[in-house]
Amino acid sequence: MQIVDLIKKKRDKQEHTPEELKFLIDGTVDGSIKDYHLSAWLMAAFIQGLSIEETTELTKLMAYSGDVLDLSSVPGIKIDKHSTGGVGDKVTLVLAPLVASAGVIVAKISGRGLGHTGGTVDKMDAIPGLRTDLTIDEFLHQLKTIGISLIGQTQNLTPADKIFYALRDVTGTVESLPLITASILSKKIAAGADIILLDIKYGSGAFMKTFEDAKKLSEMLVTVGKKLGKSVTTAISDMDQPLGFTIGHTLEVIEAIETLKGKGPQDLTKLCLRYAAILLHKAKKVKTIEEAEILLKKNISNGKAIEKFREFIEAQGGNPDVINNYDLMPKAEHHIDILSEHTGFVTQLSAIDVAETAKLLGAGRDRKEDKIDLGVGVELKIKRGQKVNKGTLLAVLHANSLKHIEKALLLIQHAYVIGDKAPLNPPLIKEIIS
Ligand code: URA
């Protein structure tokens, strides 16, 4: 078999056999297929698409291209959650302890962020001492003892996805529904959980810009997941404006802790409660979603949820005192107030502009090797739909270096669009597909 024949076949819109896809993935992992051939194949697949059968086969081959975790030694149903990436998306930090506080095991392998979307592993770095590089044995031990562990991607999990993703990132082939499906699901299958919730974001701050594309992706993820014997639920949620009020690592950890204490922003709290309820219901912990929400709200008000987060931090070597003393985390030297230049209603708050502002302050990366500043970011004071006067405090920039501050000030002003009429706020969770 020759890779060039596979490229020509896909270029001409023909369907690959399972043997051809195996040749492609084996050659990707052992290095016998060169990057230029892979890039050409990825572009052909991007343009011509892959059938559901091809996507399913590719997902399976990618999932088994490296280690696949066996969680069977951990008793009980294990859940996992993944987001396609958003701005201010600290859902995992709230959802994981919340679900674990109700007795369902959360086994999650998270990524670092790239570009404007922050990763959970980077956020956890703001907690002093917290390790995200546990060995698989440590990971399993922690699941058995406290029912929750969040770690970074281990070296040999889905190596084919790592190679594909790095090439897609630089060849304009990220936004392909079958390639995203294979990328996300292969990682989830390799991570071994029984129940998977995928948060599909749409809007200016997401990969999927429209609800229609997010819906198509959701349907493909559920269909392929089912064919591979996995219980996959997708929730399509709004990412046109950031989630919660904070963007930046320490700032987001603080907001997650506040949410677990019952003092979080309404949108973040609502999303986390709903997702956690879906997971408890899927794990058969409760009979109805309503029953689950009552239980979860109780665990927030009686302190069980924040206590689970404390246990988690301690088990992974972090300093649990951060829960009551936010000064233990890195923070920024300068705080710059952003005031409204107009009177009216905030009709738009662009998630991508806010993310780019935070990145200019040092909270994001352009390249994998870039170092991020954990203490900086954007604290929003006003969100979409609120009324403002000229001079109202819109946001506070948390900065250390003032190198790009002029550009950051322009961008954050640009993020807020102020008009005469209150906008119609779209629902936070638009659809759930199971
Ligand atoms: N997230 C992933 O893990 N993979 C993709 O291809 C896109 C989003």
CA distance 374 to 21: 41
* Residue 300 alpha carbon to ligand 1 centre in Å: 31
CA distance 44 to 21: 14
**In Å, how far from its chain's centre is CA 150?**
13
Ligand 1 lined by 167 (C-beta under 6 Å): no
Residue 128 CB contacts under 8 Å (≥ 6 apart), including other chains = 318, 319, 322, 328, 329
User: Annotated catalytic sites, by residue?
Assistant: 82, 161, 168, 183, 187
Q: Which domains does the chain have, with CATH numbers?
A: 3-49 (1.20.970.10), 78-323 (3.40.1030.10), 331-419 (3.90.1170.30)
320 close to 363: Cβ distance less than 8 angstroms: no
Atom 2 (ligand 1): residue with closest C-alpha? Answer: 184
pLDDT at position 378: 98
Would the CA dihedral through 31, 34, 35, 40 be positive or negative?
negative
CA distance 184 to 214: 14
CA distance 427 to 261: 25
Ligand 1 lined by 180 (C-beta under 6 Å): yes
* Residue 165 alpha carbon to ligand 1 centre in Å: 8
Q: What is the pTM of this model?
A: 0.92
What's the order of all strands across the beta sheet hosting 246-247? Answer: 246-247, 377-380, 393-399, 334-339
Pocket probe mutation, ligand 1, options 50, 89, 117, 207, max atoms within 8 Å of Cβ: 207
Atom number of ligand 1 nearest to Cα 111: 3
C-alpha closest to that of 352 among 212, 237, 240, 211: 240
Atom number of ligand 1 nearest to Cα 187: 3
Q: Tell me the two tokens of residue 15.
A: 């369907």
- pLDDT tens digits in sequence order for the chain, 434 residues long: 999 999 999 999 999 999 999 999 999 999 999 999 999 999 999 999 999 999 999 999 999 999 999 999 999 999 999 998 899 999 999 999 999 999 999 999 887 766 666 688 899 999 999 999 999 999 999 999 999 999 988 768 899 998 998 899 888 898 899 999 999 999 999 998 999 999 999 998 888 899 999 999 999 999 999 999 998 999 999 999 999 999 999 999 999 999 999 999 999 999 999 999 999 999 999 999 999 999 999 999 999 999 999 999 999 999 999 999 999 999 999 999 999 999 999 999 999 999 999 999 999 877 767 788 999 999 999 999 999 999 999 999 999 999 999 999 999 999 999 999 999 888 999 999 88
309 close to 322: Cβ distance less than 8 angstroms: no
Q: Tell me the two tokens of residue 52.
A: 């559901």
Ligand 1 lined by 117 (C-beta under 6 Å): no
DSSP, residue by residue, 354-408: HHHHHHHHTSSBSSTTPPP-TT-EEEES--TT-EE-TT-EEEEEEES--TTHHHH
* Residue 231: Cβ within 10 Å count: 17
In one-letter notation, the amino acid at residue 434 is: S
* Residue 33 alpha carbon to ligand 1 centre in Å: 22
DSSP, residue by residue, 37-104: HHHHHHHHHHHH---HHHHHHHHHHHHTTSB----TTS-S-EEEEEES--SS--HHHHHHHHHHHTT-
* Residue 218 alpha carbon to ligand 1 centre in Å: 13
pLDDT at position 115: 61
pLDDT at position 264: 97
In the 8-state DSSP scheme, what is residue 34? -
* Residue 331 alpha carbon to ligand 1 centre in Å: 30
Ligand 1 lined by 84 (C-beta under 6 Å): yes
DSSP, residue by residue, 246-313: EESHHHHHHHHHHHHTT-S-HHHHHHHHHHHHHHHHHTTSSSSHHHHHHHHHHHHHTSHHHHHHHHHH
Atom 1 (ligand 1): residue with closest C-alpha? Answer: 84
Pocket probe mutation, ligand 1, options 55, 83, 84, 234, max atoms within 8 Å of Cβ: 84
Q: Is 333 helix (H, G, I), strand (E, B) or coil?
A: coil
Atom 5 (ligand 1): residue with closest C-alpha? Answer: 180
* Residue 83 alpha carbon to ligand 1 centre in Å: 9
Torsion, Cα of 371, 372, 375, 381 (10° steps): 160
C-alpha closest to that of 275 among 217, 223, 246, 234: 234
C-alpha closest to that of 361 among 351, 373, 370, 352: 373
198 close to 66: Cβ distance less than 8 angstroms: no
Ligand 1 lined by 183 (C-beta under 6 Å): yes
DSSP, residue by residue, 99-165: HHHTT-EEEEEE---BBTB--HHHHHTTSTT------HHHHHHHHHHHSEEEEEPPTTBSHHHHHHH
Atom 3 (ligand 1): residue with closest C-alpha? Answer: 184
pLDDT at position 364: 85
Residue 157 φ/ψ, nearest 5 degrees: -95, 130
* Residue 187 alpha carbon to ligand 1 centre in Å: 9
Pocket probe mutation, ligand 1, options 174, 181, 234, max atoms within 8 Å of Cβ: 174
CA distance 107 to 171: 32
